[in-house]
Amino acid sequence: MDVPHSWMVEAIYSPYDLDNIHLASVEDRVEAEFVLEYILVEGQCFDAHMDSPIPGLQYVMGTDTDPELYDTIVMANLGYFQLKGKPGAWNWSFSGFWCTG
């Protein structure tokens, strides 16, 4: 599959082992069914006044029924963070503030 690097795609059905296809054993064509499992969200977080990363800031991503389903912490080097979540609409929170994305 040729998908964006932030998509985590998984094969859910194929009559063949897609990692080790032996073309001599293929009778007609190779077919497979794939599903988009997760989307990776990456970013950087900076203090606008200090122009520096905010290490240790915790991002939380969830739904209305489960507000803390996934979480991550901003890293000290470059303020990098990443979260993975299933496709859909999510609520984000950090340092007591809420935003929807």
Structure tokens at 36: 């988009």
Let me know if residue 2 belongs to a domain. no
At residue 95, the pLDDT reads 53
CATH number at residue 65: 2.60.40
Let me know if residue 61 belongs to a domain. yes
Query: Are residues 54 and 42 in contact, defined by beta-carbon separation less than 8 angstroms?
Result: no
Residue with tokens 């007609």: 28
58-94 b/e with 16+ CB inside 10 Å = b?
Answer: ebbbbeeeeeeebebebbeeebebebeeeeeebbbbb
List the domain range (segments joined by +) for residue 54: 7-100
Let me know if residue 53 belongs to a domain. yes
Let me know if residue 28 belongs to a domain. yes
Domain total in the chain: 1
User: Which stretch, 24-38, 56-70, 71-85, has highest mean pLDDT?
Assistant: 24-38
Let me know if residue 1 belongs to a domain. no
Whether pLDDT at 76 is above 90: no
At residue 16, the pLDDT reads 83
pLDDT tens sequence across 5-55? 999 999 999 888 888 888 888 888 888 999 999 999 888 888 778 888 877
Let me know if residue 19 belongs to a domain. yes
